[in-house]
Amino acid sequence: MSEGIIYWLQQALNAFQLGSIYALIALGYTMVYGILTMINFAHGDVFMIGAFFCFLLSSLLGLSFIPTLLLTMLGTALLGVMIERLAYKPLRQAPKVSAIITALGVGMFLENFTLALAPYPKQVPLLLENVTWDVYGISISSIQIVIISLSLLLMLLLDYIVQRTSIGMAMRAISWDKTIVPLMGIPVDLIISITFAIGAGLAGAAGTMYALAYPVIDPYMGVMVGWKAFICAVVGGIGNIRGAMIGAFILGTVEIMVVAFLPSTFRDFVAFTLLMLLIMIRPYGILGKPRIQKV
């Protein structure tokens, strides 16, 4: 193969890896928005907590990759449910802006709580042996394969839950009409808790995988990644699960391509500019539809 094609394929692979992590986080934003029309700005910090759970489980308890991943997901899922119950549920009838401010507050709480316990960046132990293969000149690492395949698996699982199960059907129903779902006897609070658990669990998986690829973690790592994942969700059409995945892969691609051609300091500047242009062209996002407000 020619040098050019190899180069492009290499970049595409890298973009796919980055996009998968963004997608897992973006899904949490979009699911919560879909069900509560609320932006959970603490979500990026749940991702950060996931990376720290991963650090604790692997370095202090010495667990291997699979148990670390599963326990991290379980831990962040519980954290997500707790955040919703303690911080958001009491404000469900309050103006939306109150819930958003609370979400920002919860995020800062998580950052500073972690900072108090871990003032210096932590090094996550190597959970998987990193082997790099050379396939026709494209270098593929085992970590890359794990990240991409695991993310795709989780996204397929989520799509299955939302499209094919009774709980998924209830989630979709709530996103369309919250008042009448309980009149079918369905406990809306339980469905909301499950939504937060799934979203935060995916963020935990993203935190673990991020720590695989970039093992130095700190309490503020979730801020920028969180903002970016949020933007992915908006670009894809917030509230739309498949849209969040598409938005994430677009941002992953844009970032990798910018770095490939321009100085790396241009990355976020160019990426955000392009995303803003995209939003101007499609204000409801790629798969989003304007919603008619029911009176």
Partner 1 sequence: MTILIANKVGHKFGGLSAVTDFNLNLHYGELMGIIGPNGAGKTTVFNLITGVYQASEGSMRFKGIEIVGKRPNQIAALRIGRTFQNIRLFRELSVLDNVRIAHYAQANYGILEGLLHLGRYQKEEQRIINNSRYLLSIFKLEQVAGELAKNLPYGLQRRLEIARALAISPELLLLDEPAAGMNPHEIDQLMLLIQWIRQEFNLTILLIEHQMKLVMGICERIQVLDFGETLAVGTPDMIQNHSKVLEAYLGEVPGG
Rounded CA separation 66/80 (Å)? 21
171 near partner 1 (CB under 8 A)? no
Per CB under 8 A, contacts with partner 1 among 232-261 are none
Q: Measured in whole angstroms, how far is the alpha carbon of residue 63 from the centre of its chain?
A: 24
User: In the complex with partner 1, which residue's Cβ is closer, 56 or 154?
Assistant: 154
Largest CA distance in the chain: 63
70 near partner 1 (CB under 8 A)? no
Structure token digits, residue 28: 């949490």
- Calculate the alpha carbon distances from 31 to 9, 14, 62, 80 in Å: 32, 26, 33, 13
161 near partner 1 (CB under 8 A)? yes
Q: Which stretch binds partner 1 (CB under 8 A): 41-49, 141-149, 176-184, 256-264?
A: 176-184
Per 3-state DSSP, the chain is made up of helix, strand and coil in percentages (nearest 5) of: 75, 5, 20
User: In the complex with partner 1, which residue's Cβ is closer, 96 or 164?
Assistant: 164
At closest approach, how far in Å is the CB of 75 from partner 1?
A: 19
At closest approach, how far in Å is the CB of 103 from partner 1?
A: 25
User: In the complex with partner 1, which residue's Cβ is closer, 162 or 209?
Assistant: 162
At closest approach, how far in Å is the CB of 4 from partner 1?
A: 45
290 near partner 1 (CB under 8 A)? no
Judged by CB under 8 A, which of 9, 38, 138, 188 binds partner 1? 188
158 near partner 1 (CB under 8 A)? no
Q: Measured in whole angstroms, how far is the alpha carbon of residue 52 from the centre of its chain?
A: 16
Judged by CB under 8 A, which of 38, 186, 223, 270 binds partner 1? 186
178 near partner 1 (CB under 8 A)? no
Q: What is the C-alpha end-to-end distance of the chain, expressed in Å?
A: 60
Structure token digits, residue 78: 């519980």
Q: Nearest to residue 21, comparing CAs of 259, 244, 263, 288? A: 244
Q: Which stretch binds partner 1 (CB under 8 A): 40-48, 132-140, 169-177, 226-234?
A: 169-177
Rounded CA separation 246/259 (Å)? 20
At closest approach, how far in Å is the CB of 295 from partner 1?
A: 9
184 near partner 1 (CB under 8 A)? yes
Size of the site for partner 1 (CB under 8 A): 20
Judged by CB under 8 A, which of 116, 183, 280, 281 binds partner 1? 183
The residue with tokens 């796919």 is 16
How wide is the angle at C-alpha 78 spanned by C-alphas 252 and 185, nearest 5°?
Answer: 100
Angle, helix 221-236 to helix 241-261, in steps of 10 degrees: 120
166 near partner 1 (CB under 8 A)? yes
> Cβ(111)–Cβ(45) under 8 Å?
yes
Rounded CA separation 188/213 (Å)? 38
Judged by CB under 8 A, which of 100, 138, 167, 260 binds partner 1? 167
The residue with tokens 């090094």 is 123
Judged by CB under 8 A, which of 91, 169, 213, 260 binds partner 1? 169
212 near partner 1 (CB under 8 A)? no
- The residues that touch partner 1, with contacts defined as CB under 8 A, are 161, 165-167, 169-170, 172-173, 176-177, 179-180, 182-188, 194
